[in-house]
């Protein structure tokens, strides 16, 4: 391994050993606190455009398998770890983390003091950065010249280009709750995690996946019983076509949104979004259901948030993040549309929130009866 560097836009530098693909990458430096699930994290399309730091100290010891991917290929710009395991030990593994990153063209950097890096991001905020084997001054120039995440619509980099049918459920990992495929759901792919589609199938849905640019009329031409709005990367306020599509769909079909889909629904209802200082990324985020008082431990991955005050008189806020009281869920009583900021499909993470998929099919059943 040769030496590499991560240089933030503010000039802070972290050095380590390069692994994975060679070259230079520029993106927003962020961190995730998940102790497990690095394969799902690597392939989560919501990390598009970002340089991701793992706070867990050793990454790669279970290698890479074919079952745990959340997308067909990773979309993040680079991967930062404290220690990359040279030993791969798992019966499902087909290759090492290093080999996988080389194959997918993703730059890795190990030997980094990820605790200090994480504390710096928490104190100063997520910011643009550059990583590679170039001299630190050049990397700093690249980081300073990079456009910020605010204002970027990155959904075009991760959405499907063609409509397709999805029929795979969770298989051995979960028993289907309804195998009859009673409901037809159109999932708008802004960067969807595959386990979301599996969870919809598990709830008895026939799933049609359409590109992010699909219009409301094109969606309704499939005659769906409900519409799902997926997670995805970038600034929700920049996804103007998606907001318009959701606005045109409201009241015409039941709608369920997750993450970016939640933000787009909020914008369509007249709300506003803003950028968080360092975001919520991890598997242990506490969320309170305001209707029941129940606390859920959730998986999250977002850098933008819906302004609670902007939703007053427009819809009901249903969930709040217990760490900072940010908006984690809304419901539009008039149309039955609802959404959450967090990831009920987890992958990886706790299953506290899987009930939301059944809530969606219950709304469909009521409106179709």
How far apart are alpha carbons 112 and 206 in whole angstroms?
45
Q: Point out the catalytic residue in the list 48, 259, 305, 327.
A: 259
CB 78 within 8 A of CB 47: no
Residue indicated by tokens 């419901």: 331
How far apart are alpha carbons 198 and 329 in whole angstroms?
22
Known catalytic membership, residue 332: no
For 243, phi then psi, to 5°, come to: -60, -45
DSSP SS3 for 89: coil
Backbone CA torsion sign across 56, 58, 62, 64: positive
Known catalytic membership, residue 120: no
Known catalytic membership, residue 345: yes
CB 100 within 8 A of CB 72: no
Residue indicated by tokens 């609802």: 338
Stated as kind and residue range, the H or E segment containing 28 is: strand 24-32
Let me know the angle formed at the C-alpha of 233 by 7 and 108, rounded to the nearest 5 degrees: 35
Residues 6+ away with beta carbon under 8 Å from 219: 186, 188, 210, 227, 245, 249
How far apart are alpha carbons 28 and 102 in whole angstroms?
21
Backbone CA torsion sign across 264, 349, 296, 204: positive
How far apart are alpha carbons 200 and 209 in whole angstroms?
12
Q: In this structure, what token pair is assigned to residue 33?
A: 């606190």
Query: Which 8-state DSSP code applies to residue 72?
Result: S
Q: Point out the catalytic residue in the list 120, 140, 332, 343.
A: 343
Catalytic positions are 259, 343, 345
């Amino acid at each position: 391994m040769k030496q590499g560097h991560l240089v933030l836009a503010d000039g802070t530098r972290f050095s380590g050993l390069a692994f994975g693909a060679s070259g230079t990458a520029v993106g927003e430096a962020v961190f995730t606190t998940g102790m497990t699930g690095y394969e799902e994290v690597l392939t989560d399309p919501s990390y598009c455009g970002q340089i991701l730091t793992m706070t867990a100290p050793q990454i790669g010891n279970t290698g890479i398998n074919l079952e745990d991917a959340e997308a067909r290929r990773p979309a993040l710009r680079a991967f930062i770890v404290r220690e990359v395991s040279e030993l791969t030990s798992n019966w499902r593994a087909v290759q090492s983390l290093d080999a996988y990153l080389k194959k997918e063209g993703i730059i890795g950097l190990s030997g980094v003091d990820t605790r200090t890096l994480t504390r710096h991001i928490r104190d100063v905020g997520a910011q643009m950065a550059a990583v590679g084997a170039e001299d630190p001054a050049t990397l700093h120039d690249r980081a300073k010249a990079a456009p910020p995440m605010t204002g970027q619509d990155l959904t075009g980099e991760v959405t499907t280009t063609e409509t397709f049918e999805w029929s795979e459920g969770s298989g051995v990992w979960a028993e289907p709750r309804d195998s009859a495929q009673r409901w037809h759901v159109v999932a708008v792919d802004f960067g969807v995690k595959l386990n979301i589609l599996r969870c919809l199938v598990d709830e008895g849905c026939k799933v049609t996946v359409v590109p992010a640019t699909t219009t409301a009329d094109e969606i309704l031409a499939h005659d769906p019983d409900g519409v799902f709005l997926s997670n995805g990367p970038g600034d929700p306020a920049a996804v103007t076509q998606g907001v318009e599509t959701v606005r045109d769909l409201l009241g015409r079909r039941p709608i369920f949104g997750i993450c970016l889909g939640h933000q787009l629904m909020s914008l369509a209802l007249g709300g506003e979004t803003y950028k968080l200082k360092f975001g919520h990324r991890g598997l242990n985020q506490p969320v309170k259901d305001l209707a029941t008082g129940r606390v859920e431990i959730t998986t999250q991955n977002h850098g933008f948030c819906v302004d609670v005050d902007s939703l007053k008189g427009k819809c009901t806020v249903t969930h709040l993040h217990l760490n900072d009281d940010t908006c984690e869920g809304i419901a539009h009583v008039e149309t039955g549309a609802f959404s959450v900021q967090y990831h009920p499909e987890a992958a990886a993470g706790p299953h506290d929130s899987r009930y939301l998929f059944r809530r969606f099919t219950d709304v469909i059943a009521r409106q179709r009866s």
